[in-house]
């Protein structure tokens, strides 16, 4: 049985979520009415996974998440509204250590919850098995245990390590294609934060997310990284040293206009389950660019999106990098690539930028 703690100040949401998870049979559900009550229950019930509402009176979801990741790190799935404000808060939650998020029903909650239930259960079940690094917030945990206090220290300034771009000649035209899903935003932060402004190829990213989230994600990464980062909402020419995030609820495909490679948001392919589709992105790139001038990077995420196309890319002479199980929050997508013998390189997250730079140098 999976021990689930549902944290929400709404009696209706607590009841509906409890019913959804109890009905599937493999969840043991406990409920908390506030962030403070959730913290009290952490040790008492030792949950395998927590669903956590962002907006609660008193201690809100972000403050509660911060304390969970210091006191007793465990997989947390945020319950978020699909708004611009909700997107920024959710991305902040993922930076604090949340594994994933689910959309809060926007209309009649009791009617919409049935339609959301399958995806909700799948995400929470996957999150229950997610990897939470023992190093997560370790310094703060030690400080809290030593002092007996629950003080949140001021955040340390982010000083990303910059990797020098490769010297020597490169193919005239090349692309890095990145795919990720659950746990992807922090993984993108870690990968892109290590790359220097002179990175010689464009980087195109398919991150599974709703449309209201990918714009805030691009703006957040643009603030944190040396490379320029933008969301692809219209046909956009690709230039070296820039990162292009596919718009959510659509697919990201490549085309050539007047001899120049462009990325554009295309209507999502109904035959594909995840969007933006990594498989579709890689397949479109392979029709325009020689395989040896393409590098595919598949990072954390549930499912297998990207594994088929990147396996074909490797077989055609391209290069692929899969995040290793040691660091992936969910080793679904990269694990599927490894299982298909489609990974040229398997590396932990903190080594992917080095491997990528080495590949471009050769």
What per-residue confidence (pLDDT) applies to 172? Answer: 56
pTM of the shown model: 0.87
What per-residue confidence (pLDDT) applies to 151? Answer: 38
What per-residue confidence (pLDDT) applies to 160? Answer: 44
Task: Indicate which residue of 208, 242, 262, 319 is catalytic.
Answer: 208
Q: End-to-end CA distance of the chain, in Å?
A: 49
Q: Is 258 a catalytic residue?
A: no
Task: Indicate which residue of 181, 277, 284, 293 is catalytic.
Answer: 181
What per-residue confidence (pLDDT) applies to 227? Answer: 96
Buried b (16+ CB within 10 A) or exposed e, 147-156: eeeeeeeeee
Task: Indicate which residue of 8, 284, 305, 324 is catalytic.
Answer: 305
| pLDDT lower than 70: segments of the chain | 82-84, 107, 133-172
DSSP secondary structure, 18-70, as one string: HHHHHHHSSEEEEEESSHHHHHHHHHHH--SEEEEES--SSS-HHHHHHHHHH
Encode pLDDT of 143-181 as tens digits.
Answer: 444 444 443 433 433 434 444 444 444 445 899 999 999
Q: Is 189 a catalytic residue?
A: no
What per-residue confidence (pLDDT) applies to 27? Answer: 97
Asked if 296 and 311 count as a contact pair (C-beta separation under 8 A), the reply is: no
Q: Is 181 a catalytic residue?
A: yes
What secondary structure letter does DSSP report for 195?
Answer: B
Torsion of CA 60, 62, 65, 66, to 10 degrees: -110
Question: Domains, the chain, ranges and CATH?
Answer: 2-147 (3.40.50.2300), 175-361 (3.40.50.180)
CA distances from 62 to 11, 14, 140, 282, 315 (A): 20, 18, 16, 36, 44
Encode pLDDT of 43-102 as tens digits.
Answer: 899 999 999 999 999 999 999 999 999 989 999 999 887 666 778 999 999 999 999 998
């Amino acid at each position: 049985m999976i021990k689930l703690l549902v944290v929400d100040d709404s009696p209706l949401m607590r009841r509906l979520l409890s019913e959804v998870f109890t009905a599937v049979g493999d969840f043991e559900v406990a409920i908390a009415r506030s962030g403070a009550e959730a913290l009290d229950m952490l040790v008492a019930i030792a949950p395998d996974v927590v669903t956590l509402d962002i907006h609660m009176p008193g201690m809100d979801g972000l403050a509660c998440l911060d304390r969970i990741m210091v006191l007793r790190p465990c997989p947390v799935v945020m319950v978020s509204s699909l708004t611009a404000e909700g997107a920024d808060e959710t991305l902040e939650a993922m930076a604090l250590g949340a594994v994933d998020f689910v959309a809060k029903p926007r209309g009649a909650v009791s009617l919409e919850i049935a339609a959301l239930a399958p995806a909700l259960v799948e995400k929470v079940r996957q999150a229950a098995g997610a990897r939470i690094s023992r190093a997560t917030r370790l310094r703060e945990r030690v400080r809290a245990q030593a002092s007996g206090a629950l003080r949140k220290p001021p955040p340390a300034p982010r000083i990303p390590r910059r990797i020098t771009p490769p010297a020597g000649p490169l193919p005239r035209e090349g692309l890095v294609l990145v795919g990720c899903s659950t746990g992807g935003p922090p993984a993108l932060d870690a990968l892109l934060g290590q790359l220097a402004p002179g990175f010689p190829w464009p980087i195109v990213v398919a991150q599974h997310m709703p449309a209201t989230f990918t714009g805030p994600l691009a703006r957040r990464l643009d603030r944190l990284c040396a490379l320029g980062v933008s969301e692809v909402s219209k046909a956009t020419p690709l230039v070296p040293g820039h990162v292009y995030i596919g718009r959510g609820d659509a697919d990201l495909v490549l085309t050539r206009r007047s001899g120049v490679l462009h990325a554009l948001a295309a209507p999502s392919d109904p035959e594909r389950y995840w969007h933006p589709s990594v498989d579709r992105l890689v397949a479109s790139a392979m029709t325009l660019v020689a395989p040896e001038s393409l590098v595919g990077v598949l990072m954390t995420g549930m499912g297998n999106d990207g594994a088929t196309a990147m396996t074909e890319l490797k077989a055609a002479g391209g290069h692929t990098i899969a995040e290793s199980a040691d660091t992936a929050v969910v080793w679904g997508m990269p694990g599927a690539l490894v299982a298909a013998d489609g990974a040229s390189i398997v590396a932990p997250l903190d080594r992917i930028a080095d491997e990528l730079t080495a590949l471009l140098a050769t």
